[in-house]
Amino acid sequence: MKIIFATHNQNKVKELHRLLPDPYELLSLNDIGCLPEIEETGKTLEENAKLKADYVRYKYGLDCFSDDSGLEVDALNGAPGVYSARYAGKEKNNDANIQKIWKSLKGVPDTAACFRSVFYVHLRGKTYSLEGRVAGKIVFEKRGFGGFGYDPIFIPNGHKKTFAELGDEIKNKISHRAIATKQLIELFNSI
């Protein structure tokens, strides 16, 4: 079964590819010839996920799903949230984003945070919104070399290592996208 994942982000495509069982063939926006970046103008993860999936559904007439994800820090009232990629500016610089998190959390004892991922799905004339969430905390040094984005400064609850130290195999079992992907597979299997 071919599934279109409405993203150009190759990290996410690779991650989802590993998470989906064999019968599912994942196609990215590049694979369907949709080259322009779909602007993420929403104010919530839900809005952004919907606008990306809607774009593909209405422009190409294809069933698809999209994801929008971000880091939500409790002490920062859920920031950077939907602005995670461009927290420190529109250049989307990971190092600058991490520095800004540390600066914003300076002197804050409780660094509880979560990664949240929202999937929006167009499937056989119906739409679905799915959500995965993994709770943890922010640390004040970068640890590990795996993953991307905020992975080197996020320790998921129940673990002593950051996502970047835990590596793809463990991250892909417990991550926000892994949880949302399980729901996606259940949805496909139920139809």
Q: How far is CA 29 from CA 4, 15, 32, 112, 159, in A?
A: 7, 15, 5, 34, 35
Give the contacts of 8 (CB within 8 A, at least 6 positions apart).
Answer: 28, 29, 30, 37
How far is C-alpha 97 from the chain's CA centre? 16
Sheet containing 64-73: order of strands: 64-73, 112-123, 126-138, 154-156
120 lies in the binding site for ligand IMP (CB under 6 A): no
148 belongs to the binding site for ligand IMP (CB under 6 A)? yes
Q: Rounded CA gap, 12 and 8, in Å? A: 8
Q: What is the largest CA-CA distance in the chain?
A: 51
Candidate residues 4, 6, 13, 68; the one interacting with ligand IMP per rule CB under 6 A: 68
Is residue 162 a contact residue for ligand IMP (CB under 6 A)?
no
Question: Least Å distance between CB 182 and ligand IMP?
Answer: 15
The reply to whether 71 sits near ligand IMP by the rule CB under 6 A is yes
Task: Name the residue number minimizing CB distance to ligand IMP.
Answer: 149
* Binding letters toward ligand IMP, positions 48-67, x by CB under 6 A: -------------------x
Q: Is 95 a catalytic residue?
A: no
Of 17-25, 56-64, 68-76, 98-106: span binding ligand IMP (CB under 6 A): 68-76
Beta bridge pairs of residue 117: 69, 132
Q: If binding means CB under 6 A, how many residues of this protein chain bind ligand IMP? A: 16
**What 3-state DSSP class applies to 120?**
strand
Distance between CA atoms of 156 and 4, rounded to whole angstroms?
A: 29
C-beta closer to ligand IMP: residue 128 or 144: 144
Which residue's CB is nearer to ligand IMP, number 5 or number 150? 150
- Binding ligand IMP by CB under 6 A: which of 55, 65, 120, 150? 150
Spot the catalytic one: 63, 68, 95, 110: 68
Task: Tell the smallest beta-carbon distance from residue 106 to ligand IMP (Å).
Answer: 20
CA-wise closest residue to 56 among 29, 24, 76: 29
- Interface ranges with ligand IMP (CB under 6 A): 9, 67-71, 84-85, 115, 147-151, 163, 175
**Active-site residue set:** 68
